[in-house]
Structure 1
Amino acid sequence: MAKKLRWTDVHDIAIELEDLHPDVDVVNLRFTDLWKWVQEIPDFEDDPQKSNEKILEAIQMAWIEERE
């Protein structure tokens, strides 16, 4: 059984997003898109309202690192 991801699992989320959206311009993405894409990850299971700009920024930075 796969681990259920939560907003705080920023590095695991970044890995999943890179697999699901390899052609996205990670540097210039909109947080509204990022917020939606995180919730579309099959193993993501957390309250959408627990997200905030700081968490989305951390996910974005981890995704940039993952891509490099």
Structure 2
Amino acid sequence: MGLRWTDTIDIAIELSEAHPEVDPQWIRFTDLHAWVCALPEFQDDPAKSTEGLLEGIQMAWIDEVG
């Protein structure tokens, strides 16, 4: 099974590799949502995202690049 919204660390790693030029501290949640859904391994329902899940992914991404 591919990535799901709750796979925050794995998603953060994939995003840091896919968008190395981006400072995740300043990303808009609309962009973050689109980028997560565009990951090749992502297989969850896009409508199941929440602000809390997106914030968790953003924080994990910040930790990943920090």
Unaligned runs of 5+ in 1: none
TM-score, normalization: structure 1?
0.94
Report the residue type matching 1:31 in the other structure: F
Match of 1:19 in 2: 17
Distance (whole Å) between structure 2 residues aligned to residue 25 and residue 45 of structure 1: 25
Identity of aligned residues (%): 59
Which consecutive segments of 4 or more residues in structure 1 shift more than 6 A? none
Unaligned runs of 5+ in 2: none
Match of 1:32 in 2: 30
Distance (whole Å) between structure 1 residues aligned to residue 52 and residue 28 of structure 2: 14
Q: CA RMSD in A?
A: 0.7
> When the two structures are aligned, how many residues end up with a matched partner?
66
TM-score, normalization: structure 2?
0.97
Greater helix content: 2
Match of 1:55 in 2: 53
